[in-house]
Amino acid sequence: MLSIASMAFRNLLRNRRRTVITVLGISLGLGMCQMVYNLNLGNYNSMLDKGIRGLSGHVVVQHKEWLKSPEVEHVVEGSAAIRDRLQADNPAALVTRRIMAGGLVTSPTNAVAAGVFGVDPQPESKLNRAATRMVDGEWLKPGDARGLVLGDTLADRLGVGVKSRIVVMAPDPTDPTESISLLFRVRGTYHSGVEVLDNFSVMVPISAAQPLLQGTDPVHQVAVVYDDDAPSAAGLERAKALDLGEAVALSWQEALPDLQTFIEVDTRTNELFFFVLGFIVVLGVINTMLMSVLERVREFGVMMALGMRPGSLAVLVLVEGALLGFASAVLGTVFGTAFTYPLVTSGLDFSQEMGETMMVEGVAMDAMMFAQYAPDRMALYAVVAMAMTILASGWPAWRVTRMQPIEAIKHT
Amino acid sequence: MSIVSVRGLTRDYPQGEHTVHALRGVSLDIEPGEFTVLMGPSGSGKSTLLNLIGGLDKPTAGSVTIEGADLASMTPGERSDLRRDRLGFIFQAYNLIPVLTAAENAEFVLQLQGKSAAERRARAYETLAQVGLEGMEGRRPNELSGGQQQRVAVARAIAGDPALVLADEPTANLDSTTSDELIATMRRLNTEFGVTFVFATHDPKVMEAASRVVRLVDGEIAEDTRT
């Protein structure tokens, strides 16, 4: 069967070297775009995961002014009741409460101003970066009202270790002219890789930190964390339906606006890069197709003399472009998959550039970045590459329709 | 009715500040079954006349009708359809489509005509046999000699069962023996199958085989002889 497709295919094979170079050019560009997207996706998801698990939650209840002004007095009261209700509404989720205060952490040999984080030990054992990076002793236990964990660097500065006593002094919330002192015993030390956590933070059970705040059963956040983002919208609706007083229920996008904006801006920047790359590839395809057409002007003239309509010749050129695009899309996706694979399995090590971690919009990013396959986006990029190749064939195809048979036949 | 009727055909080409008068008011009728040769020196207007008859070029003045249809009143698409269905072309440089086999080249016009694959294949093999190329149907042009390629071009020209085959210097690139064979083949197609040919040529051997010789000089018919 002599079809336009088979003729187009054979035409592409006439100058195999040019066809191979063009396909390689498009496919490598496509593969690189897919790889960069996959790496960014892995990076963004890692950032979101860390941000959601450590800084907010898929749904977070906090004082309505907290986002604008994270002052110690902006508390959520009746936190245990809210936590229990959220837990009842979301039985599969982790629900945790958090306090973020400050104080003077004192040991027998030194005193350091530090952040004092009150946490629910049980859920935070699965969420908190420190809990999963204990280097000595153990994480906080529920009911241990005097337990404290701290960063290994801070422990060195204070000259303390496991079982040492530490006093946390802070302003009295009921009378700022007075201070209160809370006695703790060190249960463990951690090394999170985040300087502010390792150098300037202690973590204590929520009940032990509550005296640092005003109000009834106060905390700064009650967070709901799911295994994935899917139940977030319904969970948020249920949380908003609760009587929260001065508090509000927010999605993670609302609670972490800077992180969301950062990801959106970074995504747009990458898309601009992809567009520029695509534009360069399109110019290459136009050049290839135009060369291919100009080399065959006489042949097109003969075809027109034999009765082929100019429109059919244009279709032939477009089909050649489509075949070129299809081959490039398939090969490019193979390249993209192959390029991404080591980044998924072994990751990309940026420790030389950024040390152990780097803070991005309040989220600690690990130096080891891992890619994540995005099949839907890879398919989309492949389709776009193919469409761009067909579009790039449009001008050469149009040129063919403008040819006059007699001039084309005489073309040398 | 004449297959071709040319009346007062003029074709001028601008060349810088001058105008080249390739044809000057030529009138001519071609009847079915003729084996007509347009002869004359280079620049006499042979190829120009052939191209105008084939609807590949537009006249400056005058008219060309093919089987009663005026080419000037047709759209480019209609002229394409006319060439596809009623005309065959043979070129000096063979001009086969290099990516197609001999059979596929012969099929090409039939494909454009919308014939079925089986019909196309049978007709292509039949015409290739008529020009003496049995067994070479699967060869690409670069696997054929010049004479064989021109035979494929002849097969392609007649495969669509045209009313008229226009051949522009078909033997110019062939050696004497191959040229003789090709002329004999076309003459046989003319006598046995009634294919009407119009040649533009310098080749005296083609003129010897012709049933009619039209001599052009400076874009005008100087002599029109039937043998």
Query: Nearest-CA distance from B217 to chain A in Å?
Result: 22
**B80 near A CB under 8 A:** yes
Which helix (H) or strand (E) segment holds residue B70: the answer is: strand B69-70
What does DSSP say about strands A134-137 and A221-225: parallel, antiparallel, or unpaired?
unpaired
Whole-number pLDDT of residue A2: 56
List, for chain A, all residue ranges whose pLDDT scores fall below the cut of 70. 1-2
By Cβ distance, the residue of A7, A306, A309 closest to B89 is A306
Whole-number pLDDT of residue A233: 85
Q: Are B7 and B185 in contact (CB under 8 A)?
A: no
Question: Could B56 and A306 be called an inter-chain contact, meaning their C-beta atoms sit closer than 8 Å?
Answer: no
Mean confidence (pLDDT) of chain B: 92
Which residues of chain A make contact with B76, given a CB cutoff of 8 A? 310
Measured CA to CA, the distance from residue A298 to residue A305 in angstroms comes to 10
By Cβ distance, the residue of A299, A307, A309 closest to B97 is A299
Q: What's the CA dihedral at B122, B128, B133, B136 to 10 degrees? A: -50
By Cβ distance, the residue of B80, B85, B160 closest to A308 is B80
Measured distance between the N- and C-terminal CA atoms of chain B, rounded to whole angstroms: 21
CA angle B187/B189/B195 to nearest 5° reads 100
Which helix (H) or strand (E) segment holds residue B29: the answer is: strand B18-30
Interface predicted TM-score (ipTM): 0.91
Kindly report, residue by residue over A161-182, the tens digit of the pLDDT. Answer: 999 999 999 988 888 788 899 9
Question: Could B108 and A306 be called an inter-chain contact, meaning their C-beta atoms sit closer than 8 Å?
Answer: yes
Measured CA to CA, the distance from residue B100 to residue B119 in angstroms comes to 18
Closest CA to A155 of A105, A120, A118, A193: A105
Question: Could A306 and B104 be called an inter-chain contact, meaning their C-beta atoms sit closer than 8 Å?
Answer: no
Question: Could A298 and B95 be called an inter-chain contact, meaning their C-beta atoms sit closer than 8 Å?
Answer: yes
Instruction: Tell me which of B47, B56, B89 to substitute to probe the interface with A (most A C-beta atoms closer than 10 Å).
Output: B56
Place of tokens 């472009």: A321
Question: Could A299 and B51 be called an inter-chain contact, meaning their C-beta atoms sit closer than 8 Å?
Answer: no
Which residues of chain B make contact with A304, given a CB cutoff of 8 A? 56, 80, 83
What is the residue-wise DSSP string for A88-129?
Answer: HH-TTSEEEEEEEEEEEEE-SS-EEEEEEEEE-HHHHHHH-T
**B168 near A CB under 8 A:** no
Measured CA to CA, the distance from residue A158 to residue A107 in angstroms comes to 6
Burial A348-378 (b: 16+ CB within 10 A, else e): eeeeeeeeebbebbbbbbbbebbbbbbeeeb
Measured CA to CA, the distance from residue A169 to residue A211 in angstroms comes to 11
Contacts of A50 (CB under 8 A, 6+ apart): A129, A363, A364, A365
Strand segments (E) across A152-253:
165-172, 175-190, 201-205, 221-225, 247-251
Kindly report, residue by residue over B13-65, the tens digit of the pLDDT. Answer: 988 889 999 999 999 999 999 999 999 998 899 999 999 999 999 999 999 99
**B98 near A CB under 8 A:** yes
Question: Could A406 and B51 be called an inter-chain contact, meaning their C-beta atoms sit closer than 8 Å?
Answer: yes
- Cα A132 to Cα A125, A189, A190, A361: the distances in Å are 7, 11, 8, 22
Which residues of chain B make contact with A298, given a CB cutoff of 8 A? 95
CB hemisphere CA count around A249 (13 angstroms): 20
Question: Could B76 and A310 be called an inter-chain contact, meaning their C-beta atoms sit closer than 8 Å?
Answer: yes
Whole-number pLDDT of residue A1: 40
CB hemisphere CA count around A127 (13 angstroms): 26
Question: Could A406 and B156 be called an inter-chain contact, meaning their C-beta atoms sit closer than 8 Å?
Answer: no
Instruction: Tell me which of A10, A302, A400 to substitute to probe the interface with B (most B C-beta atoms closer than 10 Å).
Output: A302
List, for chain B, all residue ranges whose pLDDT scores fall below the cut of 70. none
Measured CA to CA, the distance from residue B189 to residue B132 in angstroms comes to 12
Q: For A408, which residue in chain B has the nearest alpha carbon?
A: B56
Question: Could A14 and B83 be called an inter-chain contact, meaning their C-beta atoms sit closer than 8 Å?
Answer: no
Which residue intervals of B71-175 are DSSP H helices? 76-86, 102-113, 117-130, 146-159
Whole-number pLDDT of residue A178: 87
Which residues of chain A make contact with B57, given a CB cutoff of 8 A? 405-406
Q: Are A406 and B56 in contact (CB under 8 A)?
A: yes
Q: For B94, which residue in chain A has the nearest alpha carbon?
A: A302
On the 0-12 / 13-18 / 19+ scale of CB atoms within 10 A, B226 is exposed
> Which pair of tokens denotes residue A80?
């245990």
By Cβ distance, the residue of B56, B111, B160 closest to A2 is B111
Instruction: Tell me which of B108, B149, B165 to substitute to probe the interface with A (most A C-beta atoms closer than 10 Å).
Output: B108
Beta bridge partners of A119: A98, A205
Instruction: Tell me which of B60, B84, B99, B104 to substitute to probe the interface with A (most A C-beta atoms closer than 10 Å).
Output: B99
Whole-number pLDDT of residue B52: 95
Question: Could B91 and A302 be called an inter-chain contact, meaning their C-beta atoms sit closer than 8 Å?
Answer: yes
- Cα B197 to Cα A117, A372, B40, B56, B88: the distances in Å are 100, 70, 17, 17, 9
This prediction has a pTM of 0.78
Measured CA to CA, the distance from residue A411 to residue A294 in angstroms comes to 10
Beta bridge partners of A134: A190
